[in-house]
Chains A and B, each alone.
Chain A
Amino acid sequence: MSATAPATRPPAAPGSGALDGLRILEVAGLFGAYCGKLFAELGADVILVEPPGGAPQRRTGPFLDEAPGPDGSLTFAYLHSSKRGVTLDLDTADGQVLFRGLAASAAAVVESAPPGALDARGLGYDALGAPNPALVYTSITPFGREGPYADLPASDLTLMALGGLLCLGGYDDGEPTRAYGDQALRAADQFAAVGTLLAILQAEATGQGQRVDVSAQECVVLALENAIQYYDLEGTVRRRLGAGQRQAGIGVYPCADGHIYLLATTYGQKWDPLVHWLMDAGVKGAEQFLEPRWRTVEWLQQEEAKAIFLEAFLQLTLPRTKAELYAGGVERQLPLCPINTPADVLASPQLAARGYFAAAAHPALDRPLVMPGAPYQLSATPWRLRGPAPTLGQHNAEIYAELGLGPADLAHLRAAAVL
């Protein structure tokens, strides 16, 4: 941890995780990966159950050195860190027996098979909950377990479309574009984590588990800001605004080494500090922005106002870097920030001071992978990277030993392609 961490944080006892003692069975699929990671890195024992051919994330780029391979996926390395991994073919009778064995001691199962698929294999909530009444059974599906769309196929892109977020993103003079990085899949995982932990808390208090039914489409709908309310209350349908300026003083502006984002609204009295900055920098005609019309949103949204402001503001930004402009904004208490690239994020002094990036070993590398670390800093039960993502079947021996399987049994099951 950084030496500048505040003194109000007492040191945590070694091994203390808020989610210690919870075993989570994560069935590999389209969803669930980030959900399992959240649990694992606050102390849960998360077991990733992969088909013998590997979880789908193993085939998802980007790849280390752009070389696909079972351990080459950086997406897999990130989303499945801190978990142990077993292989299991859930279509086989032997595989189903083993899964039931593992589920008997689980606090939760997290799965994203098509609705009903695991039930058909005797691995649904009814089958697994009977011997383990406190079991929480979380199903993450594109649309929910039931309903007119329940059995329909989906992808991150189609969920963005059907969930309404695609409508708000992209170019007003061109196509709508989705959020980067499979955010519909990640949103479903985040909400699944919240729902699963709520149910686990309830199960620990009452002895009674339950199903948690997560709809990825609904998770996308939660991201729509005020679009639903604009329709409901004013009959207005919000659409994508595009890039560039939203009004004079709000938008993305080019600078010497990229772009910055400025949010100088009349709300919160940000306008005057901005004008004085322009004047201090010798921008010609900057005094005009002190005129009263520049305090009215109606004028600021006019194309003429945007053009005048843009011409002036570019005199400030084009000769200056993101870092210089950011420093100027801080000095003047203006909401201005750089449009960071991932490289800028990695080089951030703020994130360095926070000790944000974590290092995970990787089987094919002689140096660790540098990845985002703790998304929160808990004083008594800190986030912890427990280890790298598992290689395929890495923990078969130690986990199946709990069910009484020895090396000969494992060899037999491997030969039968159950593992």
Chain B
Amino acid sequence: MLGLPLRGVRVVDFTWQGAGPFTTKALADHGAEVVRIESSRRLDGLRSMGPYRDGIKGLERSGYFANRNSNKRDFALNLKHPAARDLALRLIAQSDIVANNFGPGTMEALRLAYDDVRAVRPDVIYLAMSVNGSYGPERDEVGYGLTVSSRTALHYLCGLPDRLPVGTGTNYPDHVAAPCHATFAVLAALRHRRRTGQGQYIDLSQAETMIALLGPAILDCSANGRVPTRQGNRDAAAAPSGVYLCAGADRWLALSVATDAQWRALADELDAPEWTTDPRFATLVARHQHHDALDAAIAARTRDREPYALMDALLRRGVPAGVMQTAEDLVERDPQLRFRGHFARLDHPEMGPSLYDAPPFRLQGVAEPIMRTPAPLVGQHTREICRERLGLADAEIDRLIADEVLL
């Protein structure tokens, strides 16, 4: 059996807030030693955003912060102090990867840019993942997760064609697009370095990673001269494709019927044999043409059906169906997520046992546990890092704290 794949890989982590920490979480979860640089003079903004344990605000109580910071250590280096840079570089000299998601120029102002860092660690892998990338006329745009959705056309494309665009309801690019691409790039760079000894600079634009996931829509525009419209829950490959209210409060069932066999199964399950002889619904093409009428007909039949029972019945008949699940459903009742052990409960010094996402894939040869430690407290590992990694005696550490280099 194998250990964690990234054991021995060291990351100095200047990322904070959104997309950056999800990237370094993927590295930490798989065994990299990730040291977050975070001082009380410049706290991670997510610590001040809810939810909080029991609804009580506190820097060590935010679940928004915690989930994306599993398995990491926290080093309270005060980057505003002139003596901090030297400590950062000493840490970097022993590390493999340096990551940040600041706006361009920030690391340059700290004299911790790629060229500065290469001077102490020539083969460093340096990840810079700003909103728009490190150069270009709009590189200095002030942005947050939802602005990436807006600028990349994701927000425009989500929702109903005859209503305001509505986006995904989340900072979607922060959670999947940017961190997955950044992690993949870092791992690729790690492979290159193992084969050649050469590190490199990775300039990643969060917006560019999201646009990459909308390729077909971009092509429809560039090749066909069309501006794609919002589709709601419709799908060219399936009809019906949509969500239908069932019994209960705000209980929707999603359905995707791609074949005539699935269509007959749906009609049978909903006690509507007349649909199979209705010319409006006889073929996929016809069902697309009469989709509004189809939706109304289905909704009339689902309205008094218990959603999970209907879902189970349809799935057993080979019809893709899925209840719109809430966070409560996912945590309390979803049997598949329970089987997969998706939610790890880690015991945090202030928050107590609380839920974290495990990685959504399993490396089945790895015997070591993945979800090991909860999000760190501010500066939680400062002393041990000073001792173990920087070889500092306690007296020196005390002096650095008194001088506010460590804060």
Contact = CB atoms under 8 A, between A and B. Distances in A.
Interface stretch (A166-174, A313-321, A407-415): A166-174
16 contacts: A42-B184, A61-B236, A169-B168, A175-B160, A175-B232, A179-B172, A192-B361, A201-B191, A217-B337, A219-B361, A228-B331, A243-B164, A252-B164, A340-B150, A346-B221, A380-B189
Given A170-B169, A229-B51, A374-B208, A164 B325 contact: yes
Given A169-B158, A231-B328, A157 B340 contact: no
A386 B133 CA distance: 23
A9 B223 CA distance: 32
Interface in A146-170: 146-150, 152-170
A357 B221 CA distance: 13
Interface stretch (B77-85, B87-95, B138-146): B138-146
Contacts of A195: 359, 361-363
B163 to A, nearest CB: 7
Given A200-B191, A370-B223, 12 more contacts: A157-B235, A162-B323, A170-B159, A204-B191, A222-B176, A233-B51, A259-B164, A261-B150, A337-B143, A340-B151, A342-B153, A354-B135
B373 interface: no
Interface string B1-34: 0100110000000000000000000100010000
B166 A169 contact: yes
A263 B233 CA distance: 27
A338 B149 CA distance: 10
B221 A378 contact: no
A5 B135 contact: yes
B263 interface: no
B361 A215 contact: yes
Interface residues of A, number: 154
Nearest to A181: B214
B154 A180 contact: yes
Interface stretch (B251-259, B387-395, B397-405): B251-259
Interface string A113-130: 000000000000000000
Contacts of B323: 161-162
B332 to A, nearest CB: 9
Given A166-B324, A194-B184, A194-B361, A177 B51 contact: no
B5 A171 contact: no
B325 A161 contact: yes
B63 A229 contact: yes
A378 B360 contact: no
Q: What are the 6 tightest A-B residue pairs by CB atom distance, in nearest-first order?
A: A229-B63, A210-B365, A158-B322, A218-B360, A155-B256, A243-B164
Interface in A309-341: 329-330, 333-335, 337-341
B100 interface: no
A166 B254 contact: yes
Given A164-B326, A225-B170, A201 B187 contact: yes
Given A77-B219, A215-B360, A233-B63, A223 B339 contact: no
Nearest to A12: B200
Contact of A198 (B6, B153, B198, B200): B6
Given A214-B361, A234-B55, A335-B143, A221 B330 contact: yes
A199 B5 contact: yes
Nearest to A349: B137
A343 B327 contact: no
A193 B223 contact: no
A345 B323 CA distance: 34
A190 B67 contact: no
Interface in B170-188: 170-172, 174-177, 180-185, 187-188
Interface string B261-283: 00000000000000000000000
Contact of B138 (A156, A227, A260, A349): A349
A239 B164 contact: no
Contacts of A378: 185, 188-189, 200-202
A372 B215 contact: yes
Contacts of A180: 154, 157-158, 214, 217, 230-231
Interface string A63-75: 0111000000011
A15 B266 CA distance: 53
Given A223-B175, A232-B354, A143 B139 contact: no
A109 to B, nearest CB: 14
A236 interface: yes
A202 B363 CA distance: 10
A376 B209 contact: yes
A144 B321 CA distance: 17
B327 A263 contact: no
A202 B135 contact: no
B327 A230 contact: yes
B75 interface: no
A92 interface: no
Given A8-B115, A183-B172, A232 B63 contact: yes
Nearest to B230: A180
Interface in A360-387: 365, 369-372, 374-381
Most central of B141, B143, B360 by chain A CB within 10 Å:
B360
Interface in B103-146: 113-115, 132-144, 146
A376 B343 CA distance: 30
B337 to A, nearest CB: 7
Contacts of A158: 254-256, 320-322
B135 A65 contact: no
Interface in B302-361: 315, 318-331, 334-337, 339-340, 342-343, 351, 354-355, 357-361
Given A224-B327, A252-B164, A18 B188 contact: yes
Nearest to A228: B327
Contact of A233 (B146, B150, B354): B354
Given A9-B201, A261-B150, A350-B138, A148 B336 contact: yes
A187 interface: yes
A78 B216 contact: yes
Nearest to B205: A354
A173 to B, nearest CB: 10
B315 A153 contact: yes
A284 interface: no
Contacts of A374: 208
B2 A237 contact: no
A39 to B, nearest CB: 9
